[in-house]
Amino acid sequence: MKGWPGKYLQKVWKETVVVEHSPYLRAGQTAQLLKKQGKGVSLKKLSGILPDDNYRRTALMLAKTTKPRFLVGHNPHLTGLVGLLLGLRAGEEGVRFRKAGLMALERLTLPTDGHPYGRWRLLWYVIPD
C-alpha cells in the first residue's frame, strides 16, 4: 500500500496484532493483503460480521475491548455498526461504505447506562479511487 493509507497503517500495526475477518472468501483475501502490511499480525475468522448479522452484538463486543481492533466485514452490517457507534438513530446512514474502503473509529468513553457502546468518533475514512 503506497501513500497516505499505507503510512497510516504502519502506525496502526504497532498496536494491532490481529486482523479479524468474516468467513467469506473476499474478506479473507483482503485480510491477507492487510496482514502483509504489519509484522507479527495474525488473522482470525470472526463470526457475527456477515452482511445480515446483528450489528448491535458486534458493537457490544467492541465496547468491551481494550485494544485496537481491525475488522474486515460487509455491508449492510458495517454501515449499521458505524451508525450505531456514532450515535445515529436506527436506520440513519452516517457513512456510505464503498468496497475496499478503510475507516478508523476511536472510542472516547467506556460504556455507560446512557451509552451502552461507549461514545465514539470518526478519525478517518479512505475510499479507493
- Phi-psi bin for 12: left (phi > 0), alpha (psi -120 to 50), beta? alpha
**pLDDT tens digits, residue range 7-62?**
666 666 676 778 899 999 999 998 998 888 777 888 999 999 999 999 999 999 99
What's the confidence (pLDDT) of residue 40? 80
What's the confidence (pLDDT) of residue 1? 45
| 15 CB-contact burial (10 Å; exposed 0-12 / middle 13-18 / buried 19+) | exposed
What's the confidence (pLDDT) of residue 53? 96
| 6 CB-contact burial (10 Å; exposed 0-12 / middle 13-18 / buried 19+) | exposed
**pLDDT tens digits, residue range 109-123?**
999 999 999 999 998
Per-residue pLDDT at 5 exceeds 90: no
Reduced to 3 states, what is the DSSP secondary structure of residue 12?
helix
- Strand (E) or helix (H) holding 21: strand 18-21
Per-residue pLDDT band for 124 (boundaries 50, 70, 90) equals confident
What's the confidence (pLDDT) of residue 113? 94
The contacts of residue 71 (CB under 8 Å, 6+ apart) are 20, 21, 46, 49, 58, 78
CA angle 50, 24, 4 (to 5 degrees): 90
Task: Using a cut of 0.95, tell me whether the model's pTM lies above it.
Answer: no
**pLDDT tens digits, residue range 61-81?**
999 888 888 899 999 999 999
Checking DSSP bridges between strand 18-21 and strand 119-126, what pairing results, if any?
unpaired
